[in-house]
Structure 1
Amino acid sequence: MADSLEELLSATAPEAAPALLGAVLVRSDSQATVALRLTEVEAYGGPADSDLPDPGAHTYRGRTARNASMFGPPAHLYVYFTYGLHHALNLVCRPDGHAGGCLIRAGELVAGEDAARRRRSANRATEPAHAALARGPGNVAQALGLDRSDDGAPLRYLGSVPDPVLAAQRLVTEHPGYPKPWTGIFLPEHTGQAEMATTARTGVSGEGGTDAFPWRFALKNDPTVSPYRKAAVKKRRTRP
């Protein structure tokens, strides 16, 4: 296990992502403090001309105003708006100038569930079940209250602890909200305690979603993990 968050996230995303499973992400603002145990993470690499080319990544065609946060420095947030519907959260990896990030696909709410439930239920006819509150990247960002204004914000290192869930619950109890928003993470002191599944990334079209990129990592049999969807491989058009 890395000695610090910056050390962990200075690695490539495929190296860092498995170590994030079981960590607890804490998001606080003036309304509430919410804590999420991470159960599913996907890794994303860099541009076509980089040392880790990734056709499934936003960075594949190079740096833009939208994806600039993915190029570092590490231990920052990359929050983007996708499909005109929802936001998604990545934890930025690699040294400054090298693109990479870990997409937070799913987690379990372990503190601040009432606030997360209000956010998730705002435009729904029924309330989602506990396991579904942060299942899927859009639901993660909504439950945590993240949007594009959080893009590029630093990720606080809250420490490596024996029980990240207990540490986060204590923090939320003692500090239910802060005037200025921030996002932090508790890392587990030891990894590998739970069985992990590794697959191709879910729902990624083209080569980036194939078995050539087995960069989806999830806790086995955890009810919060999103269903795996095989990639839709793009077919070249042929003239009749």
Structure 2
Amino acid sequence: MSAARLAVDPLAAAQRLLGATLICRGVEATIVEVEGYGGVPNGPWPDPAAHSYRGPTPRNTVMFGPPGHLYTYRSYGMHVCANVVCGPDGTAAAVLLRAAVIDEGKPLVQARRGDAVPEVALARGPGNLCSALGITMEDNGIDLFDPSSPVRLQLGGPLPAQAGPRVGVSQAADRPWRLWAPGIPEVSAYRRSPRAPAPGASD
């Protein structure tokens, strides 16, 4: 499948990534929860919650690159999180991978995550997803559609989706750009940021 299918707005890209297969270091997983993020104020999808909102920096420059590349960052300085860059080349946008169902490589994932972690929680949450699949900060910028990449993406038919506000953001907190497959226990719980305005008072 071509990365050209992701050269669309963040919400459309999120829908196309839901149900896609992620292949990484001995593990295959189906993506079941995602969040779309836009870009700069004068772009087509201004998004004050996005890392790219204030323009390109050495940290976020991948978000402005061609679609189908991986953008990684550390949450709270600890947990690696993975995003799939979307939108046309030169326009910042990405989709955060929030949760996945492990299809192959469960013993390897269990070893990475620890024996005490329940199977449904192995890749629930963006940091846990990266830990489960072995995604690191060194994977930042790789082409997910290159057959030689250590992290690869296969787009398939989209899953049925529900939409709701994004998790933990204080800006644009009501924007319904989080999509998930209903009825899947691996999907994470919604948690609104305590710094966000009251529901209904934010874009």
Using structure 1 for the length normalisation, give the TM-score: 0.77
SS in 2 for 1:70: helix
Partner of 1:166: none
Report deviation, 1:185: 1.8
Q: Do the aligned residues in 2 keep the contact of 1:25 with 1:35 (CA within 8 Å)? A: yes
Partner of 2:40: 47
Aligned partners of 1:113 and 1:234: how far apart in 2? 37
Q: Do the aligned residues in 1 keep the contact of 2:142 with 2:149 (CA within 8 Å)? A: no
Residues 80-120 of structure 1: CA distance to partner in whole angstroms, max 9, x if unpaired?
Answer: 11201200000011122100101000011110111111111
Report deviation, 1:230: 2.4
Partner of 1:183: 151
Q: 1:18 aligns with which of 7, 11, 15?
A: 15
How do 1:99-138 and structure 2 match up within 5 A?
99-121=92-114, 127-138=116-127
Partner of 2:173: 209
Aligned partners of 1:43 and 1:135: how far apart in 2? 17
| Root-mean-square deviation (Å) | 1.7
Partner of 1:220: 182
Aligned partners of 2:173 and 2:162: how far apart in 1? 16
Aligned partners of 2:44 and 2:150: how far apart in 1? 32
Aligned partners of 2:181 and 2:101: how far apart in 1? 11
Q: Do the aligned residues in 2 keep the contact of 1:89 with 1:137 (CA within 8 Å)? A: yes
SS in 1 for 2:127: helix
Aligned residues: 197
The gaps in structure 1 that reach 5 residues or longer are: 159-179, 236-240
Specify the code of the residue in structure 2 equivalent to 1:8.
R
Aligned partners of 1:23 and 1:84: how far apart in 2? 28
Report deviation, 1:135: 0.2
Q: 1:228 to 1:96 in 2, by over 3 A?
A: same
Q: 2:164 aligns with which of 196, 199, 213?
A: 199
Aligned partners of 2:102 and 2:196: how far apart in 1? 36
Q: 1:73 to 1:233 in 2, by over 3 A?
A: same
Partner of 1:145: 134
Partner of 2:201: none
SS in 2 for 1:155: coil
Structure number with bigger Rg: 1
Q: 1:85 aligns with which of 69, 78, 83?
A: 78
Specify the code of the residue in structure 1 equivalent to 2:136.
D
Using structure 2 for the length normalisation, give the TM-score: 0.91
Q: Provide runs of 4+ in structure 1 moved above 6 Å.
A: none
